[in-house]
Amino acid sequence: MPAVSQAPCRWTMRALAQRSLPGLSVNTVIALLLTAFGVGDFGVNLIYSHCIGVSIWLLIEAALYWLMPEPDLQWRRMYLLVPLSVVLGYAIGLYLAAALLGHPLGWFGSGPPRVVLGYLLLSLIAGGTLSYYFMSREQLASASEEMALASARTETAQRQATESQLKLLQTQLDPHMLFNTLANLRALIATNPVAATEMLDRLNAYLRATLSASRATTHSLEAEFERLRDYLELMAVRLGARLQYSLELPPELSQCPVPTLLLQPLVENAIGHGLEPKVEGGRITVRASRSAGQLTLEVQDSGIGMARGDAATDGFGLSQVRERLASAYGELASFELRSDQASGTLARISFPG
Amino acid sequence: MNTDKNPTALIAEDEPLLAAALQTELARAWPELQVLALVGDGASAVTQALRLQPDILFFDIRMPGLSGLDAAAELADAWDSAAPQKPFPALVFVTAYDQYAVAAFEAQAIDYLLKPLQTERLRKAVTKLQQALASHTQPALQFESTLAQLRGLLGASAPQAATPLRMIQASVGNAIRMVPLNEVVYFEAADKYIRVLTTSHEYLIRTALKELLPQLDASVFWQIHRGTVVNSACLDAVTRDEAGKLSVSLRGRRERLPVSRLYSHLFKAM
């Protein structure tokens, strides 16, 4: 946005007037110096100095405006542009001043070539210095603008990262699940301390796994199934007879690597959207199998299923699973969700392993 | 039926350990209270409450089938004809976490308990219930205020949308039909769908009524039942049958629609 607003703002009358000030002062100083060194009358010097200086300045501004609107290219071309403008501006200014004062043309410029070259050199030094001053000032301004823009961009990116992390944490630690689990724990402490201790251990393992799980790492299928068991055990205490579950992991697959807690959102959905809303409850089966180099993981529930079209509107959990599969295996992974209200939902993940 | 003077209660909670724990804690905090039954889902809560007619109901909010709030509304609807002599039970809702409901409860007199239960908090609730049972407020007035509070709680689940809906977009085959809202006579919830009825057509949209309601202008579209919202401009007549049940007829439709007790306050003779 600032890059766009900078362009029109550079060419307003106000901006031009502001840029003319240093040049006008330099012109006056030159006239003063010439007078001090005994060259002519101050009034005449002042008029010549301003006519030449303003001509050079306007030529440079015009060249910048018409020829090179992109600020990036200006810097290098100034080496050519400033000397050209100085020579041309010197001639125009000279003519202008002579016309103003009624001098014969070439009055100021007449004299030995050494003197004329001297004036030209003086104009070149003044023009060059002023141009350098303006260019570096503008470069500095645009650099700091860019820095502000970049830091704003970093800030936005950081905020987005924090937000998505917070959302992830919120889905991992569903407050409804957490407080209900604590309520069950509180009930068990009085009635069955042994079961309470076991539940606390499960909760501990579940919390540690979800809070420390890095999305980038993998662990063994055996570890994945152990974490699912922690969660399912907690839910089994809560739902009582309404939840049955089985975890089917063939021993030869136990060491296969999988992204950490990949299946967790699927199991949570199976309970939260499948079994919990069903009065009589049901069963969850999680199973792993391998054929032809493809590892297949399934989460099946006998819950209420989804209405047609529900699968299209992925929740946060499902989009997490898709994203992680895509980043880990790309095109080689597949994820399908089959559901109907009669038999429940089946989620199937397949990837090389 | 309880014949003695001891107060009675019904507990509806889908997690068995929590139901048992609430019963135990209540026995400690209020030994005279007689818990008549424990039920695990909303529909059973309604039937058991009608059968047992307890003085107090402890309803978990998130239950399978019918939520605690919906169960209370359904119970209110059926109460007059099932137990005309008995005042409507005092309600206490129980919830683990519910960002909308807890805020709504703060504004209501209906009590609520957070899980895990805190013994001290339960004691306060018990004191409040004992006072309510002892104060002989006119049952009819009390019922009306309970109904008003239930309406407030049921409406609190989603904030009102900033821009009201103008059109219903219903897919018919491969096309999407635009149905202007003023042509809609009524909406009827059907599972996860809503039937949209005009004078001549019927459309099906895949939205929950709970999501549609906040987008409708509440002064035009009146909810008259848990699953029914009518266009008030199409209302024709309201009649009361022998059992005291209200129903409305609508211009442009032949069917009569029942009005739930919860929303009967909308129809009062001037």
Q: Which segments of A87-236 are extended strands (E)?
A: 218-220
Strand pairing report for B221-225 and A243-248: unpaired
State whether B116 and A183 contact (CB < 8 Å): yes
B20 and B151 inside one domain: yes
- d(C-alpha B8, C-alpha B121), whole Å: 20
Q: Are B179 and B198 in contact (CB under 8 A)?
A: yes
State whether B21 and A183 contact (CB < 8 Å): yes
State whether A180 and B21 contact (CB < 8 Å): no
- Give the other-Cβ count within 10 Å of B204's Cβ: 13
Among the residue ranges A163-167, A326-330, B186-190, the one predicted with the least confidence is A163-167
What average pLDDT score do residues B143-150 get? Answer: 88
Q: Indicate the residue among B103, B124, B155 that finishes a domain.
A: B155
Half-sphere exposure of A8 (CA within 13 A, CB side): 4
Q: Is residue B49 part of a domain?
A: yes
Name the more confident of B70 and B104: B70
CA distances from A119 to A49, A88, A102, A103 (A): 10, 13, 21, 18
Half-sphere exposure of B263 (CA within 13 A, CB side): 20
B125 and B218 inside one domain: no
**pLDDT tens for each residue of A128-151:** 888 888 888 878 888 888 889 999
Q: Which fold has domain A175-352?
A: Heat Shock Protein 90 (3.30.565)
CA distances from B43 to A116, A207, B53, B212 (A): 107, 34, 15, 24
- d(C-alpha A27, C-alpha A42), whole Å: 12
**Whether residue A95 has pLDDT greater than 90:** no
Predicted confidence band of residue B2 (pLDDT cuts 50, 70, 90): very low
Q: Which CATH number goes with the domain that contains B229?
A: 2.40.50.1020
Based on the structure, what is the number of domains in chain B? Answer: 2
pLDDT of res. A100: 85
**pLDDT tens for each residue of A169-223:** 766 678 889 999 999 999 999 899 999 999 999 999 999 888 876 666 889 999 9
State whether A239 and B14 contact (CB < 8 Å): yes
**pLDDT tens for each residue of A246-257:** 999 999 999 999
Which residues of chain B make contact with A179, given a CB cutoff of 8 A?
A: 96-97, 114-116
What average pLDDT score do residues B211-228 get? Answer: 90
Residues of A contacting chain B (CB within 8 angstroms):
175-176, 178-180, 182-188, 190-191, 237-242, 276-279, 307, 309-310
Q: How close, in Å, is residue A146 to chain B by CA atoms?
A: 38
B213 and B172 inside one domain: yes
Q: Is residue B161 part of a domain?
A: no
Q: Are A282 and A317 in contact (CB under 8 A)?
A: no
Q: Is B49 helix (H, G, I), strand (E, B) or coil?
A: helix
- d(C-alpha A121, C-alpha A112), whole Å: 14
**Whether residue A7 has pLDDT greater than 50:** no
Partner residue opposite A240 with nearest CB, options B16, B98, B192:
B16
**Whether residue A68 has pLDDT greater than 80:** no
Structural domain containing residue B206: 167-266
**pLDDT tens for each residue of A286-336:** 999 999 999 999 999 999 887 655 544 567 788 888 988 998 899 999 999
- Give the other-Cβ count within 10 Å of B24's Cβ: 14
- d(C-alpha A176, C-alpha A268), whole Å: 12
Which residues of chain B make contact with A175, given a CB cutoff of 8 A?
A: 96-97
Cis peptide before B116 (omega within 30 of 0): yes
Which residues of chain A make contact with B43, given a CB cutoff of 8 A?
A: 279
**Whether residue A110 has pLDDT greater than 70:** no
- For A139-159, b/e burial (b = at least 16 CB within 10 A) is eeeeeeeeeeeeeeeeeeeee
Partner residue opposite B41 with nearest CB, options A240, A279, A309:
A279
What is the token pair recorded at A186?
């509180």
Q: How close, in Å, is residue B193 to chain A by CA atoms?
A: 9
B180 and B139 inside one domain: no
State whether A239 and B15 contact (CB < 8 Å): yes
Nearest chain A residue to B114, by CA: A179
CB-count exposure of residue A342 (10 Å: 0-12, 13-18, 19+): exposed
Strand pairing report for B184-190 and A243-248: unpaired
Q: Is residue B130 part of a domain?
A: yes
What average pLDDT score do residues B118-137 get? Answer: 90
- d(C-alpha A222, C-alpha A230), whole Å: 13
**pLDDT tens for each residue of B7-46:** 999 999 999 999 999 999 999 999 999 999 999 999 999 9
Which residues of chain B make contact with A309, given a CB cutoff of 8 A?
A: 206
Predicted confidence band of residue A127 (pLDDT cuts 50, 70, 90): confident
User: Residue type for B67, please?
Assistant: S
State whether A187 and B21 contact (CB < 8 Å): yes
B50 and B140 inside one domain: yes
Partner residue opposite B64 with nearest CB, options A240, A278, A310:
A278
Q: Is residue B162 part of a domain?
A: no
Predicted confidence band of residue B116 (pLDDT cuts 50, 70, 90): very high
Q: Is residue B1 part of a domain?
A: no
- Those residues with Cβ within 8 angstroms of residue B64's Cβ, 6 or more apart along the chain or in another chain: A276, A277, A278, A279, B14, B40, B41, B42
What is the token pair recorded at A68?
């090179």
- d(C-alpha B119, C-alpha A186), whole Å: 11
B96 and B69 inside one domain: yes
Q: Indicate the residue among B132, B155, B178 that finishes a domain.
A: B155
pLDDT of res. B158: 60
Q: What ipTM was estimated for this complex?
A: 0.83
B241 and B144 inside one domain: no
Q: How close, in Å, is residue B10 to chain A by CA atoms?
A: 18
B13 and B146 inside one domain: yes
Locate the domains of chain A by residue range. Answer: 2-166, 175-352
Q: What is the DSSP letter of B258?
A: E
What is the token pair recorded at A345?
């939902």
B73 and B172 inside one domain: no
User: Residue type for B48, please?
Assistant: Q
User: Residue type for A300, please?
Assistant: Q
pLDDT of res. A189: 94
Predicted confidence band of residue B214 (pLDDT cuts 50, 70, 90): confident
Predicted confidence band of residue B270 (pLDDT cuts 50, 70, 90): low
Our measurement of the distance from residue A41's CA atom to the centroid of its chain's CA atoms, rounded to an integer in Å, reads: 63
B138 and B179 inside one domain: no
Residues of B contacting chain A (CB within 8 angstroms):
14-18, 20-21, 24, 40-41, 43, 62, 64-65, 96-98, 114-117, 191-193, 206
Partner residue opposite A180 with nearest CB, options B40, B64, B96:
B96
- d(C-alpha A277, C-alpha B62), whole Å: 9
pLDDT of res. A257: 93
Q: Is A296 helix (H, G, I), strand (E, B) or coil?
A: strand
Partner residue opposite A183 with nearest CB, options B16, B24, B117:
B117
**Whether residue A6 has pLDDT greater than 90:** no
State whether B20 and A187 contact (CB < 8 Å): yes
Can you give the three-state secondary structure of B175-238, one letter per residue? EEEEEEHHHEEEEEEECCEEEEEECCCEEEECCCHHHHHHHCCCCCEEEEECCEEEEHHHEEEE
Among B56, B65, B68, residue whose Cα is nearest residue B96: B68
Predicted confidence band of residue A4 (pLDDT cuts 50, 70, 90): very low
- d(C-alpha A85, C-alpha A34), whole Å: 22
Partner residue opposite B64 with nearest CB, options A185, A241, A276:
A276
User: Residue type for A170, please?
Assistant: Q
Long-range (24+ apart) CB contacts under 8 A made by A67-70 are: A69/A7
State whether B116 and A279 contact (CB < 8 Å): no
Q: Indicate the residue among B155, B177, B193 that finishes a domain.
A: B155
B34 and B123 inside one domain: yes
